[in-house]
């Protein structure tokens, strides 16, 4: 139902909304939103778990992405419907907060909305459902807290298992043990103990990728890798005991922004002019050399002539490094980023044992190893094709994130649907203490949680209903970690099976999914502004137009 004119007074229409505005109200609005959320959840559901399928996403320019990462699928799908956009945001929040569990969050949100639809059809008001969901979510978080197992945040073995499970559901799962080792070593190296506990940031691990060789060649590098080559062929390709200058200024003669004319009357003047330019460019190289630097990383460009003079001085130089790389290099080597070459002094220089350009695949990259700071690490991902290394990077990102999650909040739970079934069981028992309609909502929440093991079972080719009955029975007997082993396709104790995940991920799934579902359910009116009909560049100009203004006043 769409309307532009919502009211009339004695036959006279009263315009409230702009022309072209679409308005959908009441049950229609709800149904539309619920439908959009369900469709999206269904779409990602088949990619949940180790037996889940991947999606091939083709962008409008023909770029192809192959992934099973929930957040990436929804981002690349570029959905239109506002409710579908909210679901995509759930995945994004999940990704930003904990880095894993994006598919689960969207599936759970879809289940919550779909269970709510059944209740709405039974004439239960959405606000009652939302209240029930809120209480159920609090209880679920409490149960999760009770059953989560404390671990040692420096225990490599645990961290490795968590990292491997995060990658179990990805294209790279064959090599997950090797990648898990790399992820754990990298994360432990950048983590630091502070007064409030351990601090670890995924951003501190620099991840570079290059197609070629195979995934097995993926390596942890003690230092920083720049996807840049040494600028001049005459420069050394390897410098030991490197003294590194970081410069954020162009080593070029800058062109002025305004037009200037130089009147040259004779060849001598021309020569003088060129000599002067050469002198300026040479001076730049001299300034770098004077500071004692033997490596220069420049954020801007370096003129060919300056490159030549730097090469003469045996200085290895790299240009157009990104701001992020400069900051990372500064932290890693202890160098100060200098914006004015005249300020460059010996004490601004950073240190690394070796700086070397190496040929990786078709390209050359610069490795800065053995840095001053022991916290500098990088990972160089290799693999058959560009698409494969892209997906490997996303998977490694998930692994780094879950390791970080456990370092920050050292509590784990078992996966394979076990934690969801346990929480659902306890919720159902607790719901008995609630009054009529709220109880129904809490039960619906519990059933929605079972949507995760159901999806895992379905994706593993098992009969979901048989499995859920078996799981419920096992949990009622007090075996709180029984879940679905997707590799052997049967019901097992997931904790013993080493299918473990950070409690923080499950916590965030519960929070973001129920928040999004509640938000969607409370909407009963969608007012969408009409599409702007103006051509790009604004409305056509009318000299002396209706508003009484002209171009000239």
Ligand X SMILES: Nc1ncnc2c1ncn2[C@@H]1O[C@H](COP(=O)(O)OP(=O)(O)OP(=O)(O)O)[C@@H](O)[C@H]1O
Please list the active-site residues.
Answer: 69, 102-103, 398
The answer to whether residue 169 forms part of the interface with ligand X (CB under 6 A) is: yes
The answer to whether residue 69 forms part of the interface with ligand X (CB under 6 A) is: yes
The answer to whether residue 486 forms part of the interface with ligand X (CB under 6 A) is: yes
Interface residue with ligand X, options 48, 84, 148, 368 (CB under 6 A): 48
Give the integer Cα–Cα distance in Å for 388 and 214.
10
The answer to whether residue 482 forms part of the interface with ligand X (CB under 6 A) is: no
The answer to whether residue 104 forms part of the interface with ligand X (CB under 6 A) is: yes
Kindly list the residues in this chain that would bind Mg ion in the complex (CB under 5 A). Answer: 100
Structure-token pair, residue 463: 């009969």
SS3 368: strand
Q: State the nearest-atom distance from the C-beta of 460 to ligand X, in Å.
A: 8
* Residue 485 interacting entry, from ligand X, Mg ion, none, C-beta within 5 to 8 Å by type: ligand X
Q: Which residues contact 238 (CB under 8 A, 6 or more apart)?
A: 316, 354, 355, 356, 357
Q: Which residues contact 12 (CB under 8 A, 6 or more apart)?
A: none
Nearer to Mg ion, 88 or 365 (CB): 88
Nearer to ligand X, 47 or 482 (CB): 47
Interface residue with ligand X, options 100, 111, 303, 391 (CB under 6 A): 100
The answer to whether residue 165 forms part of the interface with ligand X (CB under 6 A) is: yes
Tell which positions 433-472 bind ligand X, by CB under 6 A. 452, 456
Please list the alpha-helical segments (H only) found in 477-541: 503-521
| Residues across the chain | 553
Nearer to ligand X, 422 or 485 (CB): 485
* Residue 48 interacting entry, from ligand X, Mg ion, none, C-beta within 5 to 8 Å by type: ligand X
Residue linked to tokens 């290394």: 389
Q: State the nearest-atom distance from the C-beta of 177 to ligand X, in Å.
A: 13
For residue 395, count CB atoms less than 10 angstroms from its CB and return exposed for 0-12, middle for 13-18, buried for 19 or more: buried
Of 55-63, 163-171, 223-231, 265-273, which part binds ligand X (CB under 6 A)?
163-171
* Residue 456 interacting entry, from Mg ion, ligand X, none, C-beta within 5 to 8 Å by type: ligand X
**Is 321 in contact with 228 (CB distance < 8 Å)?**
yes
The answer to whether residue 501 forms part of the interface with ligand X (CB under 6 A) is: yes
Interface residue with ligand X, options 278, 320, 487, 524 (CB under 6 A): 487
Around Cβ 58, how many Cβ atoms within 10 Å? Answer: 10
- Number of H helices and E strands in the chain, helices first, is 16, 23
Give the integer Cα–Cα distance in Å for 369 and 372.
9
Q: State the nearest-atom distance from the C-beta of 199 to ligand X, in Å.
A: 23
Which of 326, 296, 318 minimizes the C-alpha distance to 232? 318
Q: Which residues contact 511 (CB under 8 A, 6 or more apart)?
A: 137, 141
The answer to whether residue 350 forms part of the interface with ligand X (CB under 6 A) is: no
Q: Which residues pair with 296 in a beta bridge?
A: 245, 317
Residues near ligand X (CB under 6 A): 47-50, 52, 68-71, 100-104, 165, 168-169, 398, 415-416, 452, 456, 484-487, 499, 501
């Amino acid at each position: 139902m769409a309307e532009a004119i919502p009211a009339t007074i004695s036959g006279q229409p009263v315009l409230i909304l702009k022309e072209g505005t679409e308005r959908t109200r009441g049950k229609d609005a709800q149904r539309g939103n619920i439908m959009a959320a369900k469709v999206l959840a269904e779409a990602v559901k088949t990619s949940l778990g180790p037996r889940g399928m991947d999606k091939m996403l083709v962008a409008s320019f023909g770029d192809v992405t192959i992934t099973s990462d929930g957040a990436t699928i929804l981002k690349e799908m570029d959905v239109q419907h506002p409710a579908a956009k909210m679901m995509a945001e759930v995945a994004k929040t999940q990704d930003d907060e904990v880095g894993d569990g994006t598919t689960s969050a969207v599936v759970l949100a879809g289940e919550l909305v779909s269970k709510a639809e059944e209740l709405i059809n039974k004439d239960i008001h959405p606000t009652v459902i939302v209240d029930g969901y809120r209480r159920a979510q609090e209880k679920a978080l409490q149960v999760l807290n009770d059953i989560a197992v404390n671990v040692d945040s420096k225990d490599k073995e645990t961290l490795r298992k968590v990292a491997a499970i995060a990658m179990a559901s990805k294209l790279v799962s064959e090599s997950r043990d090797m990648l898990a080792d790399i992820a754990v070593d990298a994360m432990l190296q950048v983590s630091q103990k502070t007064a409030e506990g351990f601090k670890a940031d995924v951003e501190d691990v620099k991840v570079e990728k290059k197609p070629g060789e195979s995934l097995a060649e993926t390596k942890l590098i003690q230092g920083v890798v720049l996807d840049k080559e040494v600028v001049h062929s005459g420069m050394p390709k390897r410098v030991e005991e490197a003294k590194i200058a970081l410069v954020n200024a162009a080593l070029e003669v800058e062109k002025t922004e305004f037009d200037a004319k130089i009147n040259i009357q004779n060849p001598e003047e021309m020569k003088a002019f060129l000599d002067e330019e050469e002198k300026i460019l040479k001076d730049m190289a001299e300034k770098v050399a004077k500071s004692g630097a033997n490596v220069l990383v420049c954020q801007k460009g370096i003129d060919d002539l300056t490159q030549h003079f730097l090469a003469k001085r045996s200085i290895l130089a790299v240009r157009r490094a990104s701001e992020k790389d400069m900051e990372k290099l500064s932290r890693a080597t202890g160098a100060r980023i200098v914006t004015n070459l005249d300020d460059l002094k010996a004490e601004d220089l950073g240190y690394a044992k070796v700086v070397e350009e190496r040929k990786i695949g078709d390209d050359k990259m610069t490795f800065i190893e053995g840095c001053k700071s022991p916290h500098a690490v990088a990972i160089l991902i290799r693999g058959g094709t560009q698409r494969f290394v892209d997906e490997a990077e996303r998977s490694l990102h998930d692994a780094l994130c879950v390791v970080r999650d456990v370092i920050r909040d050292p509590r784990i739970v078992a996966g394979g649907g076990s934690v969801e079934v346990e929480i659902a069981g306890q919720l159902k028992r607790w719901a008995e203490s609630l009054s009529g309609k709220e109880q129904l909502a809490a039960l619906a929440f519990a059933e929605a949680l079972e949507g995760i093991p159901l999806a895992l079972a379905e994706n593993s080719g098992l009969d979901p209903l048989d499995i859920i009955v078996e799981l419920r029975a096992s949990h009622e007997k007090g075996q709180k970690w029984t879940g679905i082993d997707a590799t052997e396709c049967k019901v097992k104790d997931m904790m013993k099976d080493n299918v473990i995940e950070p409690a923080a991920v499950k916590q965030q799934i519960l929070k973001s999914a129920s928040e999004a579902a509640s938000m969607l359910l409370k909407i009963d009116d969608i007012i969408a502004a009409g599409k702007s009909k103006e051509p790009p560049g604004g409305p056509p100009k009318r000299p002396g137009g209706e508003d009484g203004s002209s171009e000239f006043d």
